[in-house]
Structure 1
Amino acid sequence: MAGGWSRDGAVQEQIDTSVADAVAQARDKLSAGVSLSHCEECEDEIPQARRDALPGVRLCVACQAEVDGFQARQLGYNRRGSKDSQLR
């Protein structure tokens, strides 16, 4: 049941779209292909165990942690889930 000026099913559409976006983002993070022997960022050697565990890895653990932290800070606000969204 939708309220106000929104059409029926609008809330579920927002939920479905948010889930689809999250799945697409997770798939984009998956690495594939040949792993590098040295980090793209700092040129340190990537340990063989990491290369075996993550096919297509391109960054060392330290650089990957920095990238992940930056991405987490960028996600901060979920426009679709906010009360100020288009459903008003």
Structure 2
Amino acid sequence: MLRPLLFLALMAPATAQAACYADYKAKQDDPLRLHYGVAEIAGACNANAAAAELRPRLAEAGWQLLNIVSVFDDNGLEERRDSAGQNFLRY
């Protein structure tokens, strides 16, 4: 009886982490360009962690993160697809 419970306890952390996404706003200068996007977040699912993770990803492509709009799970993903357009899960 103890072995199945131990197995479940060890597996719980691997299955407990749900997917995390952030929607954000970013800009480029000269000329000014703005974009709204959605990105998957691998670390902690909060705005501060999302910003820390996204800032370097966007910078590699010449974008500056302006702000994290929100963080959410799979339930909010599809409703943001059209608004994000080409920046849906791009960075």
TM-score, L = length of structure 1? 0.31
Structure with greater strand percent: 2
More contact order relative to length (CA 8 Å, sep ≥ 6): 2
TM-score, L = length of structure 2? 0.30
